[in-house]
Amino acid sequence: MLQIQKLNVKAAILDMDGVLWRLTTPLVDLPGLFNAFSKNNIQVMFATNNGTATVDQYVKKLAGFGISVESWQVLTSAMATGYSLKKTFPNGGPIYIMGEKALHDTLKDFGFYHDTQAPQAVAAGLTRELDYNMLKDTSLMIQKGLPFYFTNPDPTYPTPEGNIPGAGTVLAALEAASGVKAKLAGKPLPFLFELGMQRMNTTPEETLVVGDRLDTDILGGQKSGCKTAMVLTGISTREEAEQWQPQPDLVIPDIMGLFEEV
């Protein structure tokens, strides 16, 4: 029996950075991995806290690794931010956006556009061209009392060089400068997982969440009632997983471990 068969699931929601790849370096034989999912009749979706690429860009990146997916299978923290904003501002409209082009483009799909004169809210995320004036202007905007939304809390981001500063470092700076706690949108909040299950028409008991971070992927999966598998190719370590309560259902060296015999 395979590890994934032992878990008795029909679907998997996968993180990408630190699970499938580090930047442009694949961590396993990706075409082989997705052949294994298909062979075992496991539906697959992707849920990433990295909002610096659009859904279409992720579809193209996956295609570049030999994996063909539809856009509905990819969920991002930028999308989650759009859905969160829509709850308060159903008609869209002007907001102050501090983030990369992908965040602007994604929020535009939800009817929101960047405005400095009369914004209804502030939305921010990882900004790799960050400078002091961006932090200053955004924190001043937040201090005006506008609702403050942020894509995700991940403090680091896995690359072939090592773990580099992630969105959480920008979040910490804005919260410190403004004195305001942000409304988070991505993992570990359950929203992306719930949306994924809705799109696949599966229950939490039938769904496996696979990730490399205990504090976002695994925590979010557990909050959603899903089964969880942590891989050791990203941020969190086996020792940290052993201390985590409740522990992940599975801790594996890499995602191909799902298809190992037990």
User: Does the annotation place 181 within a ligand binding site?
Assistant: no
- What pLDDT sits at residue 178? 98
Q: Which residue has the tokens 């940290």?
A: 240
User: Does the annotation place 215 within a ligand binding site?
Assistant: no
User: Does the annotation place 187 within a ligand binding site?
Assistant: yes
Q: Given pLDDT bands bounded at 50, 70 and 90, which one contains residue 1?
A: very high
Q: Which domains does the chain have, with CATH numbers?
A: 3-49+187-259 (3.40.50.1000), 78-184 (3.40.50.1000)
- What pLDDT sits at residue 162? 93
- What pLDDT sits at residue 240? 98
End-to-end CA distance of the chain, in Å? 6
- What pLDDT sits at residue 43? 99
pLDDT tens digits, residue range 78-103? 999 999 999 999 999 999 999 999 99
CB environment 62-81: b (16+ within 10 A), e (fewer): beeeebeeeeebbbbbbbbb
Residues known to be catalytic: 15, 17
- What pLDDT sits at residue 166? 96
- What pLDDT sits at residue 190? 97
